[in-house]
Structure 1
Amino acid sequence: MATIACLRPNPVSFPATTVVEITGIVNQPGNAVPAALAKSRRTCILGSMAAVLFRWINTVWFRRAFAFWLVFSAATVGLAQTTPQPAATALPVFPIQPGSSVEGNISDSSPAVRYSIDARAGDVLTLRMDATSGNLDPFLTLFGPDEELIDQDDDSGDGRNAAITTTLPRPGRYVIEASRYGQGSAATSTGTFRLTVEIAGLGQTDPADPLATIPNFGLTPAPGIVAYRVPTAAALDDLVPERYFAFGGERGDLVRVIMATTSGDLSPEVEILNRSLLSITSSAAQSRPTEAIAYATLPETGWYLIRSTRSSGAGNFDLYVDRLLAGQELTIGEAVTGEFTAGAPVVSYVFNARAGDLIAANLFATDSASSVTPEIRLLDLNLQTLAQGAGSRFATLRRAIPRSGTYILQGFNTNPRARGGFNPRGTGWPGGGGKRPSRPI
């Protein structure tokens, strides 16, 4: 028989090393340790280790350390749950004008849309967000110039629609966020909406300003508002085969509109219209099946329309409006004068012409005492120089127009430090013939 003795730790003192003594059969060559003896040995060792661990846990310093760990863990978890997380991507902000309406869409991938409006202290701002399709439950939020919360609303409009009316505390740019009710997984409604913005009060814009208020174009739904160099996304399909957008511009602005397909098999078409819904597009281009481009020179300061449609297919597209230059229309017989300064050594004019027209233009320095040295250039819409001329006081050029469309006539002072007056003049003959009645270019 073998005996095994296990020495337990001293109940009074905690030794640095726990000794376990085993007596019995020694595993020498030729001697096999019985299975029962091996099992008893393991049991004895485990029991001794458990006794050591139990005694260690019951020490005062362990209990204090464990309590500190519990408090620290609870504080860390609470902090992680209450600290707001920054947004992954900032929402784009689209400018909107008072007195206008804009259409939008709320979905799981795009749960909010933001717009900006400039206003003055004392203005009364009225916002209405009405659901137009789906099960959308509209929610409106208004932020101030420093991104502070001004107001928010869920159901003050008709039914579940949202509405805000508030007096603005100070001047600046306010941001309107159109979204849906609920947060996180609780926000499930989707659909399209119409946002209407109205301003009244001390900050009412001068009614004599043609850009102060967007006119009623008589379209349903109302056109969306776009600004120069701010891309706008939309879609066309069998249910919505065309869309209208409005933008404001100055007389003489040379405007380019690009409509580019971003998904689907949409073959886009685009044109620029005046308030009477008549096309003022001077030329159009389609470099590839998924992109359409239109150009126009704005005849007067005010609001204009962009009509986006398709020749076939359906899909999403981006619309981009760009002012290539702020110019003036040059007309035959019109007395045009100007002045070159150090800050303005270039002047631009725009005109329309037909293929084959012969264009003659000159630029004359009217002040003989100045050191203005004129140069004149004829450009196409790609800003490529077609012809140019220079002289000490008088610059002239002649060129047959290669294709019908809009062209640019630019005058330069090649001595930019000089200051002095100038007089541009242009003539055009249809078909490049001889003495024929001149007409506006």
Structure 2
Amino acid sequence: MIQFLRVGNILLIIVVLSLIGLSTGNAQPANLSIPILNNGDTVTGQLSGTVTARLYAFNGSAGDTVSIEMTPTDDVIDPFLILFGPRGEVLAQDDDSGEVDTAALIDGFVLPVTGAYFILATDFTYVPIVDDDTQIDTGTYELSIDGITQPAGADALLFFKADLAPGDELTGNITEEEPVFYFVLKGGNTQPVDLTFASEDFDPLLQIFGANGDRIAVNDDDPQSNALDSAVYNLTLPAAEDYLVFATDIDFNDQESFSSGAFTIALRQAG
């Protein structure tokens, strides 16, 4: 059975954010629609067009030994899995360890803490780098998960999120231990917005996830400048739900190449 991250049945994630002006008093539920997986689930999905990755989530307990497998059901995609922790940690990843040729398998990973975890399901080619005009042929897959124990009070885990509204500008730091920051954009607004993510210390990467976990935007280099900063312009968020942003370094899943440091993220009305 799949549930969705909506008020009343919410996956709440413990995220400690080193942001100026962010306090624990800001913790509130988020109206996300990312699919939640339960123990023993096998779900089907597809990557198609500009949707080159999808995000899933699950609640787990400390000490759970978890296995996650992404198996292609055609010959279009080469599955790749990344497991993220409650504080933005990159905990595990895999390309070709599954039973079926090219299947991705994270096998026997022991969860370090009780809380909420994200699974990025994508193609090996499109882990972080996607051009604005990238179009992927429709490819289908099955995603399965085993070994998780539903923690007590799982629908009320604390979520210390950083909300971004037009006019907001926040500063912070990413670290080797916590390379990904989670931000929430409020939807239901037909006015386009510009999201910028800048750093002098690392090469910024933005990933934005919308309805059903679809990655609706990803950017490495600002298309309007020669800088390495990341930006998504004229972004529309029409659905009456929240959108989740991963803000990180381009090498977030490569510990040897990853760079930490300070950043500034800002959301403004387009134009």
Where on the TM-score scale, by shorter chain, does this alignment land: which range? 0.3 to 0.5
- TM-score normalized with structure 2 length: 0.41
Q: Which has the higher contact order (CA 8 A, sep 6+)?
A: 2
**TM-score normalised over the length of structure 1:** 0.26
Which structure is larger by alpha-carbon Rg, 1 or 2? 1
